[in-house]
């Protein structure tokens, strides 16, 4: 990754009309509906943005959408890049750097995740308070990282407490139940064994998924305040583990999505 590449990506988007968005939003698996709330949308398909990772077949609909929600200028990633698609850490976090250079001042992240904490049920949402990186690498482990900021990035408080408190209040007043906990990231794409779910619980995780953490690390590198919410799509009970049903995961994400849209819209309104 070079600064020139970032400049070219950003110039392309600016020439399409992506001018100084305030908020960047990453939408996870089955959580694309927020784009329908965007007024005066301008779309840029990932395949057409210079230096964006080339989209895989499964993922060809990925796009950045710019416009306004609740009167605020936003840029929304509909679909993200994952390590399990064969991309590397720099690829999957490149869009975060592009949105930052476009001018975002805050980042919202959503994902679908499995519930490790068995007090949580599928269809619940969880505010991510902290995380554990089990993806075996870092998006900051590259030679010229110094050109982009610090190498030894502080992670004592990776999620913004102010926005997190606001979203909790919104959940309360909207009657939406919002759990809180620790998200652990794994590479995937295979799901976990019973032994692995037991291990993740022992490690202190409340939810497990295959994304988000690299994006959060890079956003911290860029000093971008983050709020992140998981939609819990399956219950990871090692003593009673049903075979994974991807169709059901997507269905549950879809059913929970309207609540996610409400939380994010109301938060945008309050910022
Ligand atoms: N494990 C990992 N990733 C996931 C899961 C899970 O159980 N559910 C949704 N994403």
ω into 189 cis (within 30 of 0): yes
From CA 267, how far away is CA 167, in angstroms rounded? 6
Q: Please tell us whether the domain made up of 3-270 is placed in CATH 3.40.50.1580.
A: yes
List all residues 6 or more positions away from 58 whose beta carbon is below 8 Å from its beta carbon. 85
Which DSSP symbol is given to 244? P
Å from CA of 233 to ligand 1 middle: 8
Q: Where are the domains of the chain?
A: 3-270
For residue 244, the ligand 1 atom closest to its alpha carbon is: 7
- How would you write the pLDDT of the chain (271 residues) with one tens digit per residue? 999 999 999 999 999 999 999 999 999 877 888 999 999 999 999 999 999 998 765 555 799 999 999 999 999 999 999 999 999 999 999 999 999 999 999 999 999 999 999 999 999 999 999 999 999 999 999 999 999 999 999 999 999 999 999 999 999 999 999 999 999 999 999 999 999 999 999 999 999 999 999 999 999 999 999 999 999 999 999 999 988 888 888 889 989 999 999 999 999 999 9
From CA 147, how far away is CA 183, in angstroms rounded? 30
Does residue 103 come out as left (phi exceeding 0), alpha (psi in the -120 to 50 range) or beta?
left
For residue 192, the ligand 1 atom closest to its alpha carbon is: 1
Query: Using a 6 Å cutoff on CB, does residue 208 contact ligand 1?
Result: yes
Å from CA of 113 to ligand 1 middle: 5
From residue 235, alpha-carbon distances to 13, 47, 247 in Å are 40, 35, 15
Atom 8 of ligand 1, nearest CA residue: 114
């Amino acid at each position: 990754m070079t600064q020139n590449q970032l400049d070219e990506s950003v110039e392309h988007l600016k020439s399409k009309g992506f001018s100084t968005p305030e908020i960047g939003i990453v939408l996870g698996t089955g959580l694309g509906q927020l784009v329908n709330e965007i007024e005066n949308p301008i779309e840029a398909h990932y395949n057409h943005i210079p230096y964006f990772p080339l989209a895989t077949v499964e993922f060809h609909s990925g796009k950045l959408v710019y416009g306004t929600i609740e009167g605020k200028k936003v840029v929304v990633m509909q679909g993200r890049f994952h390590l399990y698609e064969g991309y590397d850490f720099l690829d999957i976090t490149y869009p975060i750097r592009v949105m930052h250079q476009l001018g975002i001042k805050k980042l919202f992240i959503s994902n679908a995740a499995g519930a490790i904490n068995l007090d949580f049920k599928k269809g619940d949402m969880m505010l991510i308070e902290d995380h554990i990186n089990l993806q075996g690498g870092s998006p900051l482990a590259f030679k010229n990282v110094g050109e982009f900021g610090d190498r030894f990035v502080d992670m004592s408080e990776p999620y913004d407490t102010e926005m997190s408190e606001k979203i909790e209040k919104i959940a309360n007043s909207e009657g939406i139940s919002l759990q809180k906990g620790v998200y652990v990231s794994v590479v995937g794409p295979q799901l976990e064994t019973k032994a692995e779910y037991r291990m993740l619980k022992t490690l202190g995780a409340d939810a497990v998924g295959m994304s988000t953490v690299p994006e959060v690390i890079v956003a911290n590198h860029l000093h971008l305040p983050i709020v992140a919410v998981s939609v819990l799509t399956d219950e990871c009970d090692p003593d009673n583990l049903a075979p994974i049903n991807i169709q059901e995961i997507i269905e549950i994400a879809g059913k929970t999505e309207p609540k996610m849209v409400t939380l994010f819209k109301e938060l945008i309104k309050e910022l």
